[in-house]
Structure 1
Amino acid sequence: MSLSINILRGAEQDLNDLKKYLLREFSVGAWQNSYQLIKQGLAQISSFPESGSIPPELEHLGFSNYKQIIVGKNRIIYELNNAAIYVHIICDVRRDMPTLLNKRLFLS
């Protein structure tokens, strides 16, 4: 059974920022490859929402309803909530995650 995926505003902005960065610094091909991997990752979590791992930054805080998957050089952090998935973050794996999580999850 597939769950519906809701990409939250912050994650949409992440995707737009990633696109701008890859087009500016690399190429259209780099963006297309990254975007394809992200779409595949979203399809994976829709079909297998428990397949992700708990982000280490959240695990010690007891946030077991948040999961992540790594696709290419990007992390997709999502929340399992009843029959839906809420994507909070789509970012480069090298991003300062504690700061981003604080801004996105704890202050929202």
Structure 2
Amino acid sequence: MKHKVEILPSAWEDLKGIEDYYTVQFDVETALKVSDHILDAIERLENFPDSGSLTPDNWLNEREYRMVICKKHVVIYKTIETSVYVYHIADTQTEYTKLFY
């Protein structure tokens, strides 16, 4: 059964920030490749919403958030009934769990 994936405004802002960073540090082509890779991982959640793993944060896990790692980035999402909600996208080397506090 396919799930509906909804990328919330906070996650779109995160993705825009990632694109901006890669555009400034490298070039537009690199920024688009990184963005496309992240969006591909998110799209896979339509068919495999349980493919993500638990986060390193107990508070998030207790609230049933999960994560998918895309190279240097992590997508934090939650499945509610037949929908997948993407809350944040962050660099794996940041304290991304604090985005929820």
Report the secondary structure of 1:55's partner residue: coil
Question: CA separation in 1, counterparts of 2:97 and 2:84?
Answer: 22
Q: Which residue of 2 aligns with 1:100?
A: 99
Q: Which residue of 2 aligns with 1:20?
A: 20
Q: Which residue of 2 aligns with 1:7?
A: 7
> Once the two structures are superposed, what CA deviation does each residue of 1:51-96 show, in whole Å capped at 9, x if it has no partner?
1001111368622x21100012110000110010100001111121
Q: Which residue of 1 aligns with 2:53?
A: 53
Gaps of 5+ in 1: 103-108
Q: CA deviation at 1:98?
A: 3.4
Question: CA separation in 1, counterparts of 2:83 and 2:5?
Answer: 6
Report the secondary structure of 1:53's partner residue: coil
Contact kept? 1:74, 1:90, Cα under 8 Å: yes
Task: Decide whether aligned partners of structure 1 residues 17 and 49 sit closer, same or farther in structure 2, where only a CA change above 3 A counts.
Answer: same
Task: Decide whether aligned partners of structure 1 residues 44 and 61 sit closer, same or farther in structure 2, where only a CA change above 3 A counts.
Answer: closer
Q: Greater share of helix residues, 1 or 2?
A: 1
Report the secondary structure of 1:49's partner residue: coil
TM-score normalized by structure 1? 0.84
Identity percentage over the alignment?
Answer: 26
What root-mean-square deviation, in Å, do the aligned CA atoms of Structure 1 and Structure 2 show?
Answer: 1.6
TM-score normalized by structure 2? 0.89
Contact kept? 1:52, 1:68, Cα under 8 Å: yes
Task: Decide whether aligned partners of structure 1 residues 15 and 44 sit closer, same or farther in structure 2, where only a CA change above 3 A counts.
Answer: same
Q: Which residue of 2 aligns with 1:37?
A: 37
Q: Report how many residues are paired.
A: 101
Gaps of 5+ in 2: none
